[in-house]
Every structure is written in structure tokens, then in C-alpha cells.
């Protein structure tokens, strides 16, 4: 007997209705449609850290609830499943299944996709503003940017608008993503994502350039990254909104700079698309063999916020308490981890991966390998945490997170950086 057709849309980091190529194609071509979210992508450990900590889990849970209710309005069901292979096999036994999914960058992401590729499938790459294009991925961001700025940003695709038959009679578990009440910095879901964009663009678009590097405070930067990372915000819709605001309120250095920063995101995603594994390796893209330290005691001093440098310890506290730190603070932590302590950047990246609410593999490992000198940074740069703290309003921040006045470190952190440079990076001083 001929099996009935069923389109199965696999959601991962494209948790939205708008501008979602996989969902749109599935609904155009089919009358029976089912959406699945595979919980296994949140599981596992990296260098001793959970891959997905409680802040991101909570953010994803909220995003899924919002997506579930949005899909429900179109009469489409969304289920969370624990074992995607088993679920697809069950569906395949009953239906003529075709899978629709958004391709993601990263080696684990690709391994996951292999499980989907055993069935009839269609995949779509929609994590970026620009169509993937060819560039030399080992070269600098400027090399990429010069080419990228000449290209048109892709247009977003239209919202889904038709009713689809509902399929409900499957034994699919959805209890795994437990409610978690730990503090968060932003609320999940596509509506909240779009509201955040409108709020920021209406109120702060013209001060971004001046405030973006400050160490603390919520509206000094856009905070679009959590939404972009889980895909509740499409980068193309974001770009369209940015252009719309520029049209209405006028373009400025700040509005351009938001686009410029989005190109960094674009850059790391397109690099990882070309080379899914290299940014995760100790030797990185550049094939360096630096003898980074992996001593657990040293690592723990950092992870427990016991470095003795107030601005660094405050940053670690903020990250572990809220799931968020600013870009400047991420740079300071990564630089101190690698260039002052000589530690293996992959442990630091795994620490961020667990805690950051906006973690995504391309931006995280791209930036960490950059700071560790095995990625795209061609010059040897060390951030001076004490100077940086003075320059970017660190004293108030230290007071907030360590509940004390900021003090000068009791040891020579500059000499420490010189020793690491000599012993790990083998540069002549
Ligand atoms: P804004 O300053 O408002 O920038 C706007 C957008 O541009 C961001 O939302 C982001 O999508 C993009 N962007 C800005 N800076 C960068 C950058 N350096 N690299 C890539 N994209 C950028 N970003 C993540 O989204 N996920 C990560 O896991 C992540 N890990 C990082 C690890 C380290 C060591 C460092 C130094 C940076 C990391 N970043 C990461 C990049 C950057 O810190 C965050 O994107 C940014 O702080 C998010 O805040 P925002 O949305 O307010 O950024």
C-alpha cells in the first residue's frame, strides 16, 4: 500500500516562523507537516563542561514555547524528541517521509545532519545575511569584509500563511527540557526578538559606536546575539530593519557599525562553513603547535574567579551568574586566559559554551582561536586588564560583581604575560 506523504521539519537554531526557508518549503510542497526539535543537540560535554548550561536551556525552552504557540496558530505541531533517529524511523515506517532542515556550521552540527540524510531530505543554509561566497578563509577579516561589502544582503522570504493538516498521534516525548528558573538577561521567542530590535533601533541606534565597548550595562550594545544564535531572529530581517531605520532616521557611524559587527558574525560562520573542524583544534587554522597549559589547578583558579585580577574575576562572576558578558569583557577574559595564564583556549571556549546564553560555535570558537593566535589575528596582542578597566568603566562593574572597591593586582601580571609570550608563543622579547 502506498504510504501517505509527510513533511518533517527539523528545527535547531532557526527557531522562528518568519524567513525560515526549511519551514516555508515544507509547507509549500506538502499538506501533512510535522515539526521536531531534537533535544540531543543540547547534550554532551566539552572539556569537562556541559555543552549547554541552564541559562541557554531556559532561553531555548522559552523560545520553543513561543514557537510552539506560533506554529499552533497555523495548525502545525512541534514536538521535542529525545532520539531523532528512532523518531524518524517510526515515522518512516508509517509515512512517506521527506525531511526539511536548515544546514548549520560546525563539525558536530554536520554529524547530526548525517542522521537526517538517510531519508529523503532537502537542506537550506540560512544562518547568514549573505549568500556564502568564495574567499580565502585563512586570511583576515578585512580580506573577507572587502568582498562582503560589495555584495547585496539576501532578502528575507515571506511569512508562512496557509493552514496545514495537523498530525498528532505519535508517541513523542517532550518532557526533557525542564523548566529552569535561574536569572536571565533576556526573554526568548521570536516576538521578544523583534521587540528587542525595534526597541534598540528606536532608542539607541545613534549611540552604539560610542557605547559598544563599555564593559557593563544592558543597552550599551544591541544584545541581538542570543536571538541570532537560536535563530529566533533572522539576520536578513535584522538587516532589513536596520536599513529601514536608517531610511527613516538617517544613517550614522553607529548604524553602520552594527552592520560592521554583523559582518564579524558573518565572517566566522562562512569560515566554519568552509572548514567545519579547524577552529575547534588546538593548532587552529594556522596549524601552530603552541604548548598551551592544561593543568587543572590553574584552570580552576580561573573558572572559580580566583585570578586575583578584579576585572577578570568580576567578569567570570557575571558570566556564571547571568549567562552574559559584554564583548569587551569576553575579549579581556580570553586574552587573560591565553596570554597571561598560557592556558589551552579550548577549555576557555568550552567554559563559555556552557554559560553563554548566546553561544554559537562559529562566533565562540572563531573569537577564541583569534585570541589564542591560532585563528585570524596576525599580530600578537595582549589586553592589559587594569588599563582596560580604567578606560571602560570597570570600577563600578567590579563593585557590582565583587562587592568591593577595585584593587590593583598584588602580583606582576605584565611580567606574567611576558613569560607566557616567551614560553608558550616563543616570541623573542
Ligand atoms: P553588538 O556589539 O551589539 O553587535 C551586534 C551583533 O554583531 C552581535 O549580536 C553579533 O551577532 C555580532 N558580533 C559582534 N561582535 C562580534 C564578534 N566579535 N564576533 C562575531 N559576531 C559579532 N558571539 C556570539 O554570538 N556567540 C558566542 O558564542 C560568542 N563568543 C565569543 C567569545 C569570545 C572570546 C569573544 C571575544 C567574542 C564572542 N562573541 C560571541 C562575539 C561578541 O562578543 C558577541 O556577539 C557580542 O558581545 C554580543 O552582544 P551584542 O549582541 O550586544 O553585540
pLDDT tens column, 94-118: 999 999 999 999 999 999 999 999 9
- Asked whether 279 and 285 are in contact (CB, 8 A), the reply is yes
Give the tens place of pLDDT for each residue, 358-390. 999 999 999 999 999 999 998 999 999 999 999
Residue located nearest, by CA, to atom 15 of ligand 1: 261
State the closest ligand 1 atom to the C-alpha of 220, by its place in the atom list counted from 1.
52
Give the tens place of pLDDT for each residue, 141-158. 999 999 999 999 999 997
Return the residue matching grid coordinates 562562512: 270
pLDDT the model gives residue 29: 84
**Residue-wise burial string across 192-201, b where 16 or more C-beta atoms lie within 10 A, e elsewhere:** bbbebbeebb
Read off the pLDDT band of 159 (50, 70, 90). Answer: low
- Of the listed ranges 168-177, 192-201, 219-228, 338-347, the one predicted with least confidence: 168-177
CA of 388 from ligand 1 middle (Å) equals 18
Give the tens place of pLDDT for each residue, 407-425. 999 999 999 999 999 999 9
Task: Please state the length of the chain.
Answer: 429
Q: How far is CA 257 from CA 149, 193, 214, 318, in A?
A: 13, 20, 15, 26
pLDDT the model gives residue 216: 81
End-to-end CA distance of the chain: 77
CA of 258 from ligand 1 middle (Å) equals 11
State the closest ligand 1 atom to the C-alpha of 262, by its place in the atom list counted from 1.
7
Nearest CA among 380, 217, 355 for reference residue 290: 380
250: left (phi over 0), alpha (psi -120 to 50) or beta: left
CA of 176 from ligand 1 middle (Å) equals 29
CA distance 265 to 193: 17
- Mean pLDDT (whole number) for 61-90: 91
- Asked whether 54 and 322 are in contact (CB, 8 A), the reply is no
pLDDT the model gives residue 88: 95
CA distance 356 to 319: 7
CA of 312 from ligand 1 middle (Å) equals 18
35 pairs with which residues across the strands?
A: 9, 78
- Mean pLDDT (whole number) for 2-15: 95
Residue located nearest, by CA, to atom 45 of ligand 1: 225
Q: Which grid coordinates are listed for 216?
A: 557593563
pTM above 0.75, yes or no: yes
Helices of type H across 205-279: 208-211, 225-230, 235-249, 253-274
Domains of the chain: 1-126 (3.40.50.620), 128-156+189-274 (1.25.40.80), 296-423 (1.10.579.10)
CA of 141 from ligand 1 middle (Å) equals 14
**Residue-wise burial string across 128-148, b where 16 or more C-beta atoms lie within 10 A, e elsewhere:** bbbeeeebebbeebeebbeeb
* Helix or strand (DSSP H, E) at 184: none
Amino acid at each position: 500500500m502506498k504510504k501517505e506523504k509527510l513533511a518533517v521539519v527539523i528545527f535547531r537554531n532557526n527557531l522562528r516562523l518568519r524567513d525560515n526557508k526549511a519551514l516555508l518549503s515544507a509547507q509549500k510542497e506538502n499538506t501533512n507537516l510535522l515539526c521536531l526539535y531534537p533535544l540531543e543537540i543540547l547534550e554532551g560535554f566539552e572539556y569537562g563542561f556541559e555543552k549547554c548550561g541552564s541559562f541557554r536551556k531556559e532561553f531555548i525552552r522559552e523560545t520553543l514555547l513561543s514557537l510552539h504557540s506560533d506554529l499552533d496558530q497555523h495548525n502545525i505541531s512541534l514536538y521535542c524528541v529525545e532520539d531523532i533517529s528512532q523518531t524518524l524511523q517510526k515515522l518512516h515506517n508509517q509515512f512517506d517521509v521527506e525531511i526539511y532542515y536548515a544546514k548549520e556550521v560546525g563539525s558536530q552540527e554536520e554529524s547530526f545532519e548525517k542522521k537526517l540524510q538517510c531519508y529523503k531530505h532537502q537542506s537550506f543554509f540560512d544562518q547568514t545575511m549573505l549568500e556564502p561566497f568564495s574567499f580565502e578563509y585563512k586570511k583576515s577579516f578585512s580580506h573577507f569584509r572587502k568582498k562582503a561589502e560589495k555584495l547585496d544582503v539576501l532578502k528575507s522570504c515571506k511569512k508562512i500563511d496557509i493552514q496545514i493538516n495537523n498530525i498528532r498521534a505519535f508517541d513523542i516525548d517532550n518532557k526533557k527540557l525542564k523548566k529552569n528558573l535561574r536569572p536571565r538577561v533576556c526573554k526568548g521567542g521570536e516576538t521578544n526578538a523583534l521587540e528587542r530590535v525595534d526597541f534598540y533601533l528606536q532608542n539607541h541606534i545613534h549611540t552604539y559606536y560610542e557605547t559598544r565597548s563599555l564593559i557593563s550595562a544592558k543597552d550599551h550594545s544591541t544584545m541581538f546575539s542570543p536571538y541570532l544564535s537560536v535563530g529566533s531572529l533572522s539576520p536578513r530581517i535584522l538587516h532589513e530593519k536596520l536599513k529601514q531605520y536608517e531610511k527613516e532616521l538617517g544613517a550614522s557611524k553607529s548604524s553602520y557599525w552594527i552592520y560592521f559587527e554583523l559582518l564579524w558574525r558573518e565572517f566566522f560562520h562562512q569560515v566554519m562553513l568552509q572548514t567545519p573542524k579547524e577552529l575547534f583544534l588546538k593548532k587552529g587554522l594556522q596549524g601552530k603547535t603552541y604548548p598551551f597549559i592544561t593543568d587543572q589547578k590553574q584552570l580552576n583558579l580561573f573558572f572559580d574567579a580566583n585570578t586575583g585580577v578584579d576585572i577578570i574575576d568580576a567578569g567570570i562572576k557575571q558570566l556564571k551568574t547571568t549567562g552574559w558578558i559584554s564583548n569587551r569583557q569576553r575579549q579581556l577574559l580570553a586574552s587573560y586566559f591565553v596570554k597571561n595564564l598560557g592556558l589551552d583556549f579550548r577549555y576557555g571556549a568550552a567554559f563559555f559554551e556552557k554559560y553563554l546564553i548566546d553561544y554559537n560555535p562559529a562566533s565562540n570558537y572563531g573569537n577564541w582561536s583569534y585570541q589564542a593566535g591560532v585563528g585570524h589575528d596576525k599580530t600578537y596582542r595582549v589586553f592589559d586588564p587594569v588599563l582596560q578597566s580604567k578606560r571602560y568603566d570597570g570600577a563600578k562593574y567590579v563593585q557590582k560583581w565583587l562587592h568591593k572597591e577595585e584593587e590593583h593586582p598584588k602580583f606582576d601580571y605584565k611580567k606574567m604575560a611576558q613569560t607566557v609570550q616567551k614560553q608558550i608563543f616563543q616570541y623573542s622579547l
